[in-house]
């Protein structure tokens, strides 16, 4: 774990739970794509930099989830590097409390304010194409998060963040965190047209062809929608729907999973309501969701 893997003359990644991209932009300078999950990850990354006598020029965060920005604080304090993230991701990275607030939908209790859901604060600048070193291009990957981005290098490596889940993760969990499932589907479709020599997802193996894993991810999102419609064949409250989703996917309820899967399920409901496959009503001071019998969608 935290082994440095070289892909090309300039492109590397650090093998860890959320892969960290490393690109050598000169003989002795590198930039990172994300920074790991916490201070300990930051320390391990710093040891890799130090052992290779590399100076850290900048960190480019793909998105603001804590497992991708958790090393920011330590590495910035240690090296003085600039850190960049795009749009909403920049706002969230600068104010990490926003992540558990957004997931829970209110003031988060202490079990939601730990390092997996709330990184240490760092000073993050807005990411634009002008922020990037020569030979690195940014492309949009929204859906999993607000304005998630990926990066492609002149050596042909595409770092694609959390845009795809591994086959093993999909088989084990079935449903994963998404901010907007419909936008995630569009991103998956756009990835099918992305040309690169190799792809580095954060939570899946490095691969030269991602068509198969894209299809599995598309199928997984479609299956979640199908199961929601099936469960909503009769009016149901959100809490009962969430309980049944946990049971269908054999998940164990915890405070963290309640926030993550609960937030994801709300996003699915909003998306499916907008596309008119679900409707809601209020009865006896309860909000009830139900499949729309007048919808033409399957």
CA 242 → CA 9, 147, 263, 265, 289, distances in Å?
Answer: 48, 26, 10, 7, 12
- Asked whether residue 221 is domain-assigned, the answer is no
Domain that holds residue 77: 3-127
- Asked whether residue 267 is domain-assigned, the answer is yes
Closest of 56, 69, 66 to residue 123, by C-alpha: 69
- Asked whether residue 119 is domain-assigned, the answer is yes
- Asked whether residue 135 is domain-assigned, the answer is no
- Asked whether residue 121 is domain-assigned, the answer is yes
- C-alpha 148/C-alpha 67 separation (Å) is 14
- Asked whether residue 158 is domain-assigned, the answer is no
The crossing angle, in degrees rounded to 10, of helices 211-231 and 238-248 is 130
CATH of the domain at 106: 3.60.15.10
Task: Judge if 7 and 123 occupy the same domain.
Answer: yes
Report yes or no: 138 and 87 within 8 Å, Cβ to Cβ. Answer: no
Number of CB atoms found within 10 A of residue 206's CB: 15
- C-alpha 234/C-alpha 247 separation (Å) is 17
Q: Give the global pTM.
A: 0.96
Cα-Cα-Cα-Cα dihedral sign, residues 115, 121, 127, 130: negative
- Asked whether residue 28 is domain-assigned, the answer is yes
- Asked whether residue 57 is domain-assigned, the answer is yes
- Tell me how many domains the chain contains: 2
- C-alpha 174/C-alpha 222 separation (Å) is 11
Q: Which of 93, 127, 161 is the last residue of a domain?
A: 127
Token couple for 158:
């595409």
Q: Which of 127, 155, 188 is the last residue of a domain?
A: 127
pLDDT by residue for the chain (298 residues), tens only, comes to: 899 999 999 999 999 999 999 999 999 999 999 999 999 999 999 999 999 999 999 999 999 999 999 999 999 999 999 999 999 999 999 999 999 999 999 999 999 999 999 999 999 999 999 999 999 999 999 999 999 999 999 999 999 999 999 999 999 999 999 999 999 999 999 999 999 999 999 999 999 999 999 999 999 999 999 999 999 999 999 999 999 999 999 999 999 999 999 999 999 999 999 999 999 999 999 999 999 988 654 4
Q: Which of 127, 159, 179 is the last residue of a domain?
A: 127
CATH of the domain at 270: 1.10.10
């Amino acid at each position: 774990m935290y082994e440095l893997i070289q892909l090309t003359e300039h492109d590397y990644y650090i093998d860890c739970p959320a892969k960290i991209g490393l690109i050598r932009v000169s003989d002795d300078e590198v930039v990172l794509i994300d920074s790991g999950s916490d201070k300990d990850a930051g320390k391990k990354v710093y040891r890799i930099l130090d052992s290779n006598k590399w100076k850290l020029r900048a960190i480019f965060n793909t998105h603001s989830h804590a497992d991708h920005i958790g090393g920011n604080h330590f590495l910035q304090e240690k090296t003085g590097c600039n850190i960049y993230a795009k749009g909403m991701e920049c706002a969230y990275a600068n104010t990490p409390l926003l992540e558990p607030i957004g997931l829970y939908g209110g003031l988060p209790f202490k079990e939601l304010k730990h390092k997996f859901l709330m990184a240490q604060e760092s000073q993050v600048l807005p990411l634009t194409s002008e922020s990037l070193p020569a030979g690195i291009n940014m492309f949009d990957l929204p859906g999993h998060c607000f304005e998630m981005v990926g990066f492609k290098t002149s050596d042909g490596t595409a770092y694609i963040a959390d845009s795809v889940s591994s086959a093993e993760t999909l088989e084990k969990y079935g449903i994963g965190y998404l901010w907007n499932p419909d936008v995630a589907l569009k991103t998956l479709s756009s990835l099918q047209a992305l040309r690169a020599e190799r792809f580095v997802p954060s939570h899946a193996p490095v691969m030269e062809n991602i068509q198969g894993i894209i299809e599995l991810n598309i199928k997984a999102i479609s299956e979640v929608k199908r199961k929601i419609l099936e469960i909503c064949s009769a009016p149901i409250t959100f809490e009962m729907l969430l309980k049944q989703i946990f049971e269908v996917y054999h998940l164990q309820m915890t405070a963290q999973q309640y926030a993550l899967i609960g937030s994801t399920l709300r996003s699915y409901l909003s998306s499916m309501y907008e596309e008119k496959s679900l409707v809601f009503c209020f009865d006896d001071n309860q909000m009830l969701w139900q499949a729309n019998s007048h919808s033409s969608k399957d």
